[in-house]
Amino acid sequence: MSDLLLSLLRFFNPETSHSLSLSLLKIAHKLHLYSLLGIKSNFKNQDSLVFKNLTFKNRLGTAAGLDKNADYIECLGALGFGFLEVGTVTPRPQIGNPRPRVFRFSKHNSVINRLGFNNKGLEHLVNNLKRSKYDGVLGVNIGANKDSNEEHRIKDYLICFRGVAEYADYITINISSPNTPGLRDLHSNNNIAELLNEISLEREKLNYKNPIFLKISPDEDQNTYQNIINAVIEYNLDGLIATNTTIQRDQSSSSSITDTQGGLSGRLLYDKSNEVLKQIADHSKQNLLIIGVGGVDSRDSFYHKLKLGSSLVQVYTGFIFRGPKLIKAILE
């Protein structure tokens, strides 16, 4: 996708721009126009990773939220990523929070969103997984519907787990979106134990052999992270994704950023997500596979995540701002 096209897309509001970008990418892929547009898919850096029964052809993947409904698997998969993660999916379709709900801060290569798990529901996503011909590693990120109370929230995760297990190369349990009221309460010691116990039992019932990851918030304290690590190990999950967006704001940020509610991603999340990544890596003592995400928008930031202890790295906001050029910058 050319620089000119990316510039033109920024004239639209961020949510419309996101949808248009992916739709144009899908059309370009179907018409075999990638090479004409200067989009590469084969890169020299194929530092593969074998984990359990999966082979990641390189360490760079997409974070959940980029393709919420698995509508764009083939066109994203053809860009050279080592793996894709789709979702977050909930059992029932939901429209999410009122618009406007995505805010772009181009000066900082950052975004604030309060989308609220808007998605077309489990049935739609699973149908797309069934049709997909993508031969890379494909993870599915699962969540809970907004109107599910505390009692039914865990049931939502189990419904999604059962629904995607046959088609997901790995499953991510997302407890860290800041835009679903009460969801982050699952980080607490009792709640996380109850959730992961139920997931572990479901895994046994389904004989699900592939990895399960837990995606965590960057806004917790040190004791909470230690309890989460202990729970993930106790209930035999395979790793952590660090981190989701932050609701905290640096005091030096402009008022337009501090006054906008929602989860902050992109460059302004980078340092905070790295602090949590390092803490998790130091405390897990290599017992868990860690996927680093948050603020990656260059080759240096990608490799720094690996240096801090992640085995794989995901991008989202950086890809929004730089497009396929970011993949080339990292993997070329």
Q: Which whole-number Å values give the CA distances from 187 to 175, 177, 278, in the listed order?
A: 7, 11, 18
263 strand-pairing partners:
113
pLDDT digits (tens, 9 = 90+) for 52-102: 999 999 999 999 999 999 999 999 999 999 999 999 999 999 999 999 999
- The CATH number for 23's domain is 3.20.20.70
Contact 176, 241 (CB under 8 A): no
Q: Where residue 287 falls among pLDDT bands split at 50, 70, 90?
A: confident
Measure the CA–CA gap between 163 and 42, rounded to whole angstroms: 33
Task: Taking residues 260-266, report their average pLDDT.
Answer: 95
- Is the pLDDT assigned to residue 11 strictly greater than 80? no
Burial 299-308, CB ≥16 within 10 A → b, else e: eebbebbeeb
Query: For the chain, how many structural domains are there in total?
Result: 1
Question: DSSP string covering 207-238, please?
Answer: T--S-EEEEE-SS--HHHHHHHHHHHHHTT--
Contact 138, 84 (CB under 8 A): yes
Candidates 226, 271, 231; CA nearest to 248 is: 271
Amino acid (1-letter code) at residue 66: L
The pLDDT value given to residue 256: 86
Helix/strand number for the chain, H first, E second: 12, 13
Question: What is the radius of gyration, based on Cα positions, of the chain?
Answer: 18
Which listed residue (17, 148, 176, 177) is catalytic? Answer: 177
pTM of the model: 0.95
The pLDDT value given to residue 91: 98
Task: Taking residues 231-243, report their average pLDDT.
Answer: 97
166: three-class secondary structure by DSSP: coil
Candidates 111, 100, 101; CA nearest to 257 is: 111
What phi-psi label fits residue 201: left (phi over 0), alpha (psi between -120 and 50 degrees) or beta?
Answer: alpha
Contact 297, 106 (CB under 8 A): no
Q: Is residue 177 flagged as an active site residue?
A: yes
- Is the pLDDT assigned to residue 1 strictly greater than 70? no
- Is the pLDDT assigned to residue 44 strictly greater than 90? no
**Mean of pLDDT over the chain:** 93
- Domain of 79 in residue numbering reads as 3-331
- Is the pLDDT assigned to residue 183 strictly greater than 90? yes
Half-sphere exposure of 41 (CA within 13 A, CB side): 15
pLDDT digits (tens, 9 = 90+) for 105-160: 999 999 999 999 999 999 999 999 999 999 999 999 999 999 998 779 999 999 99
